[in-house]
Chains A and B, each alone.
Chain A
Amino acid sequence: MSTTLWIIIAGAIATYLTRIGGHLVISRFENIHPRVEAGLNAVPAAVLTTLVAPAALGAGPAEWAALIVAGLVSLRGGLMAMFLAGAAVLVLARQFVG
């Protein structure tokens, strides 16, 4: 088999290990400590923030406008409305500020 194929297979195994690993570790404990449970509840906001913050910092006015509008819409509307509003502002703003 080619090296490329080995890289793909090993990469796939490594990825699956990350996707099942956290569960395998946690499920070994019968009782989850309240602090651990609180920590798990914080996972979505904590991880997803790291996918936005550096990207936002490195962006420009068009992207900031899109994020602000999307953030405001998300206070009232659903996920799809938020996403479409943000995307629309982004495309419009980029016509002007590049």
Chain B
Amino acid sequence: MSAQAISENGAKSEFWQGVRLSMPVVVAAAPFGLLFGAIAVDNGFSVLEAFLMSAMVFGGASQMVGIELFGQHVAPWLIVLSIFAVNFRHVLYSAGIGRRIAHWPLMQQAVGYFILTDPQFAVAERKAEAGETVGFAWYMGLGLPVYVFWVIESALGAVFGKLIPDTHALGIDFLLPIYFLGLVMSFRKRPLWLPVVVASAAASIIAYKTVGSPWHVSIGAVAGVLLVVILPPHHSGVEARP
């Protein structure tokens, strides 16, 4: 077997390994994709527009907020600003993941940043933490199913929105917090994990009650990160390098 064939096989199995990890995300996000499509049409979007928004923005919470404001006839610039505010946490993801994918060709990086969602970042960070290389094939295996299903579900929700049954009894409105808790727990071996979680939880709850959503996410996140930055480096396990 030639070296190229071997590396192609490697990329293929890496891709499918990523696909396997994407499955809980696909399941947890599915109801929200359908729900987004249904709400979008309810608020005056066409099926095509709902589809386009999911394909181009690819950010569940921000799409929900955008569509809600659109339905209330809020000024367009304010809708865009709100989408930006909800998605602002990605700035931190972007800064963090850049260290893991800097070895990719530029075009691959550009694609990689486009599908940088909450689970995408967290699962890739877990892989990097385990000392493994975050490869493009693996990363796309993780992200592509989530993207494709999200876009299809949005369109389905837009077409068949009225048919969605009682979402509360099925528990689907609370699936994402459960999944995110699992991701939080999976980082518990990191230095200062508990202080970070406590600081971010407290700050986000206070901000949620005072400043309001969506700013509680950015404020809570910055509180946890700042705590680690302020504490002396020997606490955080990062040594000063010569």
Contacts and interface: CB of A to CB of B under 8 A. Distances in A.
Nearest to A27: B98
Interface string A21-47: 111111100000011111111111111
A42 B95 CA distance: 12
Contact of B57 (A12, A53, A75): A12
Q: Report, as a range, how many residues of chain A touch the other chain.
A: 35 or more
B90 A14 contact: no
Contacts, number: 284
Contact of B196 (A9, A42, A52): A42
Contacts of A23: 94-95, 97-98, 113
B56 to A, nearest CB: 4
Interface of A: 3-12, 14-27, 34-57, 59, 63, 66-67, 70-71, 74-75, 79-80, 82-83, 86-87, 90-91, 94-95
Pick the 5 closest A-B CB pairs, nearest first.
Answer: A46-B224, A22-B95, A22-B94, A50-B220, A38-B236
Given A4-B49, A40-B96, A10 B80 contact: yes
B113 A19 contact: yes
B184 interface: yes
Interface in B14-49: 21, 23-24, 27-28, 44-46, 49
A82 B76 contact: no
Contacts of B44: 4
B87 A18 contact: yes
B185 interface: yes
A50 B53 contact: no
Contact of A63 (B102, B174, B220): B174
A44 B187 contact: yes
A46 B223 contact: yes
